[in-house]
Amino acid sequence: MRTVFWEDNSVKMIDQRRLPNALEILTCQTHAQVAHAITDMAIRGAPAIGVAAAFGLALAARESSARTPDDLLADLRAASTLLLSSRPTAVNLAWAVNKVLRFTFSESETLSTQALRERILSEAQRLADEDVDINQRMARHGADLIADGDTVIHHCNTGALAAVDWGTALGVIRMAHEQGKRVHVLVDETRPRLQGARLTAWELEQYGISYEIISDNMAGHFLKTRQVQKVFFGADRVAANGDVANKIGTYMLSLAAHDNDVPAYAVVPTSTIDLSLATGDLIPIEERDADEVLGLEFHGERVAPVNAKARNPAFDVTPNRLISAIVTDNGIVRPPYHLNLSIILH
């Protein structure tokens, strides 16, 4: 089953808020519903939200009452503003939306309005199919970095749930497993939304891969005591110099890995590489509702005092010096990233 797909003139997606307790499909019939699903993290993961937004534009085209291609384009641009505001850090979202808009503009002079609506859907579907192929190519490249018997730490969720199918960093682990390598995964809980404990652990059970859940602050212990051979994570944006923006906690994990000479690998599609930003300092960092931190409960009781305040940045930036290599669909990129990322994209 794909994480996000088009069916019955609707965008359907696995509702990741319900996992692991229930596997439910959320149906979106308007682009505004898609935008809300992205903001509320019913769907999450950079590749997945990019494709969801592309399908959201296909819905917007069908919602539009425009009779001319120019009017349809105007409605699509308005819809894109809402979709782009749903999650600011993941560059795949803007990449997919802009790709559909550029495609629509290029076709608008030769097609009727109705034909244009159908072509927009076809383009969104093409992006979805392409995502699966990209992820499998990344997985094959990255699997070469995993040896038989490795224990790896994995942060957040980067599997099929974070993409249309297969995934990025977890897709690499899955590929190594399917190649017959014995892999054990230490799954960071990934606070505060616990994507590791809720989603990655659920996926690993589906694949039959050995795993144990650890809290984020245990990673340093396992690295220092030489119980881990590799660290893997994804990214929501990679700057031109190789700085990586990823789920909060990645920076501290990478620091601990670097201090203990354990390689840390980011696995990203080339669409996540943003050469327009010179360094990671320029990447916008989404700050989410404090209730995601304050709403945590322990044994059914609230953890924080009722009047407590909290900060909740959703991402942090890991400097390129802490990244051993970046795995892409075009191959494995090693330092110096300011040179080699440009090469891998061309």
Q: What's 110's domain CATH number?
A: 1.20.120.420
| Residues 131 and 277 placed together within one structural domain of the fold | no
Q: What pLDDT is recorded for position 108?
A: 74
Residue 172 shares a structural domain with residue 115 = no
Cα 17 to Cα 37: distance, rounded to the nearest angstrom: 10
The pLDDT, as a whole number, for residue 90 is 67
| 3-state class (DSSP) for residue 314 | coil
Q: Decide: 45 and 163 in contact? Cβ < 8 Å.
A: yes
Q: What are the φ/ψ torsions at residue 112 (nearest 5 degrees)?
A: -70, 165
- Are 92 and 180 members of one domain? no
**In terms of Cα–Cα distance, which of 63, 33, 52, 61 is closest to 90?**
52
Domain boundary, last residue among 136, 171, 203? 136
Domain boundary, last residue among 136, 151, 170: 136
Q: Does 125 share its domain with 149?
A: no
Same domain, 73 and 203: no
Beta strand pairing status for 230-233 and 151-154?
Answer: parallel
C-beta separation of 235 from 244 below 8 A: yes
If asked whether residues 22 and 150 sit together in one domain, one would say no
Phi, psi of 135 (to 5 degrees): -65, -40
Please tell me whether residues 156 and 121 are part of one structural domain. no
Residues 282 and 174 in one domain: yes
Burial 138-165 (b: 16+ CB within 10 A, else e): bbbbbbebbeeebbbbbbbbbbbbbbbb
Please tell me the pTM assigned to this model.
0.90
Do 157 and 47 contact (CB within 8 A), yes or no? no
Do residues 188 and 331 both lie within one domain?
A: yes
Tokens (6 digits) for 122: 């076809």
**Cα(112)–Cα(121) distance, integer angstroms:** 14
Per-residue pLDDT of the chain (346 residues; tens, 9 = 90+): 899 999 999 999 999 999 999 999 999 999 999 999 999 999 998 889 999 999 999 999 999 998 888 898 899 999 999 999 888 776 788 888 888 888 888 877 777 888 889 988 999 999 999 999 999 999 999 999 999 999 999 999 999 999 999 999 999 999 999 999 999 999 999 999 999 999 999 999 999 999 999 999 999 999 999 999 999 999 999 999 999 999 999 999 999 999 999 999 999 999 899 999 999 999 999 999 999 999 999 999 999 999 999 999 999 999 999 999 999 999 999 999 999 999 999 8
Cβ pair 134, 268 in contact under 8 A: no
Nearest to 323 by CA among 218, 251, 272, 215: 251
SS3 40: coil
Is the distance from CB of 75 to CB of 56 less than 8 angstroms? no
| Structure confidence at residue 66 (pLDDT) | 87
Q: Does 187 share its domain with 299? A: yes
Domain of residue 295 covers 141-344
User: Amino acid identity of 90?
Assistant: A
Considering its fold, how many domains does the chain have in total?
2
Are 126 and 252 found together in one domain? Answer: no
Q: Are residues 105 and 205 in the same domain?
A: no
Catalytically active residues are 236
d(CA 271, CA 54): 14
Name, in order, each residue with C-beta under 8 angstroms of 289's C-beta and a sequence gap of 6 or more. Answer: 312
Of 136, 160, 190, the position where a domain reaches its end is 136
DSSP state of 196: I
Residue showing tokens 């199919």: 129
Helices (H), the chain: 31-39, 46-63, 69-84, 91-107, 113-143, 169-178, 195, 201-207, 219-224, 250-259, 291-294, 337-344
Here the tokens at position 148 are 């038989």
Instruction: List Cα–Cα distances, 94 to 2, 191, 201, 332, in angstroms.
Output: 21, 26, 29, 24
